[in-house]
Amino acid sequence: MAAVANKKITLITGGNAGIGFEIAAQLLAHADSHILLGARSADRGQAAVDDLRARNLPGSLEVLPLDVSKEDSIAAAATIVGEKFGRLDNLVNNAGIMRGEGSLADQMKEFFVINTLGPALMGQYFHPLLLANESVARIVHVTSGAGSISMRLAPPTGEGANIIAVPYRVSKAGQNMVFACQTHELRDTNVKVFLYGPGPTQSRTNTIKAFKTTAEGARPAVEMLEGKRDDDVGKFVHYGFEELGW
């Protein structure tokens, strides 16, 4: 445990698939990196850990049971991290949903709880562990350009402009405000807060070649965690290079 405590500890919510999984894989290229792979499903979390360990990457990792839709799960996870390590170096708010079922009211509630309230509660419970860090700590919110109000008000052009997706768009706009509030709250501390939308990326169920690979989509977020993009603090960064309007 002492050896792990001396590493840079990164918690990734929704880390068992997609962008979160790829962020973990890239960070594990560094021997001084220890990943807490936040997963709602213990089985899926362990399968992801086994996959990453089979790659013989220099870093280390473990599953952290975590369901961002439930406050008691977030509180329990924070207690585990606090008791094990006493601090957190990086937090990636990646867990989220894009599709739902049921009425508009049902979907609005579900999307808001996971995509908006989840990151807010992660801040409430994990900010003290980030602030306990003796050096710079970092938070990366994985968001979407779909949450940009100014883009939605612009003439409908470009890929995705005609997609309605009201629950997703509103919940991501809400997450962006959570980011803004956290940026303001932590502005005079050791914690730097980032907002990053990877744009359309390939996944297990979506392999459209026009979309960037998951590895490409994850790379800017990894650079933020590595301290290579501190000029992006407080900005809405999309695709890794474009700053979006709010």
Looking at 8, 70, 84, 168, which residue is catalytic? 168
The per-residue pLDDT for range 190-208, each reduced to its tens digit, is 999 999 999 888 765 454 4
Which pLDDT value is given to residue 2?
A: 56
Residue 36 has pLDDT above 70, yes or no: yes
Percent of the chain surpassing pLDDT 70:
93
* DSSP single-letter state for residue 158: S
Which pLDDT value is given to residue 160?
A: 66
Are the C-beta atoms of residues 141 and 119 closer than 8 Å to each other?
yes
Strands 33-39 and 60-65: parallel
The per-residue pLDDT for range 74-133, each reduced to its tens digit, is 999 999 999 999 999 999 999 999 888 899 999 999 999 999 999 999 999 999 999 999
Q: Known catalytic residue: 196?
A: no
Which pLDDT value is given to residue 204?
A: 52
**What's the chain's average pLDDT?**
92
The per-residue pLDDT for range 228-245, each reduced to its tens digit, is 999 999 999 998 788 888
Which pLDDT value is given to residue 205?
A: 44
CA dist 33 and 210 (Å) reads 32
Average pLDDT of the residues in 174-194:
97
Which pLDDT value is given to residue 211?
A: 72
How far, CA to CA in Å, does 33 sit from each of 79, 134, 177? 21, 17, 30
CA dist 118 and 121 (Å) reads 5
State whether the Cα torsion 226-229-231-234 is positive or negative: negative
Looking at 172, 192, 212, 239, which residue is catalytic? 172
Query: Position 10: which residue type?
Result: T
Phi/psi of residue 190, each to 5°? -85, 0
Q: Known catalytic residue: 172?
A: yes
* DSSP single-letter state for residue 234: T
CA dist 10 and 27 (Å) reads 9
What is the strand order of the sheet 8-12 is part of? 60-65, 33-39, 8-12, 90-93, 137-142, 191-197, 236-238, 242-243
CA dist 144 and 237 (Å) reads 9
Q: Which tokens is 239 given?
A: 């695709």
